[in-house]
A and B are shown apart, each in its own frame.
Chain A
Amino acid sequence: MTSDANPAGRSGAVRTMHLKENLAGLALVAAPLGLLLVLILLPTVSMVWNTFQVPVEGGTVTGIARYQAFFADSYSVANLRYTLIWTLISCVTALAISLGISLYLRFSEGRIATMIHALSLFPLFVPAIIISYALVRFLGPNGLLQLLLEQVGITGYRTPYLTPIGPFIGFVWENIPLPVLVITAGLSQVSDHAIEAARDLGAGAWRILFEILLPQVHRSLLIAFALIFLGVIGAYTVPYLLGPPAPEMMGVFMQRTLGNLQRPDEAQVQAVILMVLSSIVGGFYIATMLRGEVGRK
Chain B
Amino acid sequence: MLKVQNLTKLFEKNRAVSGATFDVARGELICLLGPSGCGKSTLLRMIAGLALPDAGRIDIDGKDVTEAQANRRPTAMVFQSHALWNHMTVAQNVAFGLRVQGLPKPEIAEKVAAALTLVGLDGFARRRPAELSGGQAQRVALARCLVVEPKVLLMDEPFSALDAHLRANLREELKALQRRLRLTTIFVTHDQEEAMELADRIVVMHAGRIEQIGRPGDLYLEPQTLTVARFIGQMNEATVTLKAGRADWLGQPVALPAPDGPVTLLCRPEDLQRDRAGIDVRVTRVIDLGPMIRVTVATDEGAALTWVCGREGQPQTGAPLTLRPSRLLAYRDGQRLGTAAPVANRIMAERV
Contacts and interface: CB of A to CB of B under 8 A. Distances in A.
Interface of A: 191, 193-194, 196-204, 207, 211-212, 215-216
Contacts of A204: 71
A203 B100 contact: yes
Q: Helix, strand, loop or mixed for chain A's interface? A: helix
- Rank and list the top 5 A-B pairs by shortest CB-CB distance, nearest first: A201-B97, A193-B83, A197-B83, A202-B100, A215-B87
Nearest to A205: B71
Contacts of B69: 199
A194 B96 contact: no
Nearest to B74: A202
Contacts of B70: 196, 199-200
Given A202-B71, A202-B148, A216-B86, A197 B79 contact: yes
A205 to B, nearest CB: 9
A211 B88 CA distance: 10
A89 B50 CA distance: 38
Contacts of A198: 85, 96
Nearest to A197: B83
B225 interface: no
A201 B69 CA distance: 11
B57 interface: no
Interface in B27-83: 48-50, 69-72, 75-77, 79-81, 83
7 contacts: A193-B83, A196-B50, A197-B83, A197-B141, A201-B144, A201-B145, A212-B85
Given A200-B77, A201-B148, A202-B148, 14 more contacts: A191-B81, A194-B83, A197-B83, A197-B85, A198-B96, A199-B71, A201-B97, A201-B100, A202-B97, A203-B100, A204-B71, A211-B96, A212-B85, A215-B85
A216 B130 CA distance: 14
B87 A193 contact: no
A69 B217 CA distance: 92
B81 A200 contact: no
Most chain A beta-carbon neighbours within 10 Å: one of B71, B75, B77, B84: B71
Contacts of A207: 100
Contacts of B49: 199-200
B101 interface: yes
A200 B81 CA distance: 15
A199 B87 CA distance: 17
A199 B96 contact: no
Contacts of B141: 197
A196 B86 CA distance: 15
Interface of B: 48-50, 69-72, 75-77, 79-81, 83-87, 96-97, 100-101, 141, 144-145, 148
Contacts of A199: 49-50, 69-71
B112 to A, nearest CB: 13
A213 to B, nearest CB: 10
A16 B218 CA distance: 70
Nearest to B51: A196
A273 B13 CA distance: 63
Given A196-B70, A216-B87, A201 B76 contact: yes
A218 B72 CA distance: 29
Contacts of B84: 194, 197
Given A196-B50, A197-B79, A203 B87 contact: no
Contacts of B148: 201-202
A198 to B, nearest CB: 7
A203 B79 contact: no
A191 B79 CA distance: 11
Most chain A beta-carbon neighbours within 10 Å: one of B69, B72, B77, B101: B77
Nearest to A196: B50
A80 B336 CA distance: 85
B46 to A, nearest CB: 13
Most chain B beta-carbon neighbours within 10 Å: one of A199, A200, A202: A200
Contacts of A200: 48-50, 70-71, 75-77
A64 to B, nearest CB: 44
Nearest to A199: B70
Contacts of A197: 77, 79, 83-85, 141, 144
A212 B77 CA distance: 17
A211 to B, nearest CB: 8
A216 B85 CA distance: 8
Most chain B beta-carbon neighbours within 10 Å: one of A197, A198, A207: A197
Contacts of B75: 200
A202 B79 contact: no
Nearest to B69: A199
Contacts of A193: 79-81, 83
